[in-house]
Amino acid sequence: MTILHVSTAESWRGGEQQLANLIAANSDRCQNIVLCVAASAMENYCRLNNIQHFSFSKKWLGRFRAAANLSRLCSKLNISIVHCHDSHAHSMAITAAVFLRNKCPIVVHRRVDFPVGTGTFSRFKYRHPAIGAYICVSETIRKILVPSLKHPELAITIYSSIDLERFKQAAGSKVNLKQELKLPSTAKLIGNTAALAPHKDYTTFVKTAALLTRKHHDWYFVIIGEGAERVRIENEIASNQLENHIFMTGFREDVPQLLGSLDAFLMTSKTEGLGTSILGAFVAKVPVVATKAGGIPELVEEGQSGLLAEVGDAQGLANQMERVLTDHDLKACLVENASNKAKQFDSHIMALETYKTYEKVLQEFDLN
């Protein structure tokens, strides 16, 4: 079985990490080939890890030429399934199926927690018979997607995951982030690891920090990640006079090692497919406070594996953070339950379920 993974993202975010996890864990089961944007983070990853890949110019997206490139690869490499990892990839595969009669069945990964667009092409591409399965990264996303499908049974839930072994090994070689930030060892450090994107709602993160630092002068915050929102976030930090209490590290490759330095993890997202960065905190035994956005409650069960507040509710998040950092028994209970829950989200489980989906899709297309 040969899978052509199509990714059109230029930067490295959660979806790209999930694709990397999938390829690594399924390398013994099937041949994995990647079609990605030239000079993208995914192309660089494939080069560094000796993954067979092909690239295309970003300006080809949505155009016939990109679809023709995909179709040629399917024929030349005897591709079994085209696995689309984002919306643009999905469009490319449907264009190849319609205009170039590409016969490869399509699997679409759905990672966003908002409804399918109502445009003619959106409706068409989500109902096309070439699609054998929709893999949704949370049950929340599956429920949102189903009304847009002609055959709802094609939508299944396979949770996103992390490489548990990598995170466990990192726990033994953690980086002292408090020392790096020149904070006293007794300080409380609350952090997040995510791209600096609008849906992460760092405005609420800053507001939550402002509320907490007024009462707790030895509580500090760190934002680990990079993205287009950086300048805006820096301006908000400055306008709230929190430059000495909120730190921004930029992109870091040692996130698993950094997590152990945190006293708590704060996720303030407005929308979220699942929120896999939370899983790293679970493994590092860092208590989590998060919003109820998207699939997050499927990971963070209120009072069991973490604490929740409504989207945009800075005061609610601040209250929950105070609970978790002042009630030691509650904290111990949350991190123990979360650590056990993380075992369900290992990348090897995700990869096996995805491979079984490939097999089922091929069997059903053979029958037809």
Q: Convert the pLDDT of each residue in 297-321 to its tens digit.
A: 999 999 999 999 999 999 999 999 9
Low-confidence ranges of the chain (pLDDT < 50): none
How far apart CA 255 and CA 222 sit, in angstroms, is: 12
The pair of three-digit structure tokens given for residue 254, joined into one six-digit string: 């040692």
Q: What is the pLDDT of residues 322-353, one digit of tens each?
A: 999 999 999 999 999 999 999 999 999 999 99
pLDDT at 368: 57
Strand 106-110 vs strand 31-37: parallel, antiparallel, or unpaired?
unpaired
The confidence score (pLDDT) of residue 65 equals 83
Q: What strand order describes the sheet that includes 188-193? A: 246-250, 219-224, 188-193, 264-267, 288-291, 307-309
Token pair belonging to 111: 């990672």
What is the pTM (predicted TM-score) of this model?
0.91
Contact 18, 280 (CB under 8 A): no
The reported pLDDT for the residue numbered 101 is: 86
For 147, how many CA atoms within 13 A lie in the half-sphere containing its CB? 9
In one-letter notation, the amino acid at residue 6 is V
Torsion over CA: 141, 6, 352, 339 (sign): negative
- Sign of the alpha-carbon torsion through 105, 111, 112, 115: positive
Q: Could you give the C-alpha distances from 341 to 278, 322, 323, 324, in angstroms and in order?
A: 11, 23, 21, 18
3-state secondary structure 212-234: HHHHCCCEEEEEEECCCCHHHHH
pLDDT tens digit string along 105-130? 999 999 988 888 888 888 899 999 99
**Burial bucket for residue 308 (CB in 10 Å: 0-12, 13-18, 19+):** buried
Structural tokens at position 121: 């092409």
Residue 289 CA to residue 266 CA, distance in Å, equals 5
Report the candidate in 252, 354, 313, 302 with the shortest Cα–Cα distance to residue 27.
354
- Picking from 291, 224, 234, the residue whose alpha carbon sits closest to that of residue 261 is 224
Kindly report the three-state secondary structure assignment for every residue of the chain.
CEEEEECCCCCCCHHHHHHHHHHHHCCCCCEEEEEEECCCHHHHHHHHCCCCEEEECHHHCCCHHHHHHHHHHHHHCCCCEEEECCHHHHHHHHHHHHHCCCCCCEEEEECCCCCCCCCHHHHHHHCCCCEEEEEECCHHHHHHHHHHCCCHHHEEECCCCECHHHHHHHHCCCCCHHHHCCCCCCCEEEEEECCCCHHHCHHHHHHHHHHHHHHCCCEEEEEEECCCCHHHHHHHHHHCCCCCCEEEEECCCCHHHHHHHCCEEEECCCCCCCCCHHHHHHHCCCCEEEECCCCHHHHCCECCCEEEECCCCHHHHHHHHHHHHHCHHHHHHHHHHHHHHHHHHEHHHHHHHHHHHHHHHHHHHHHC
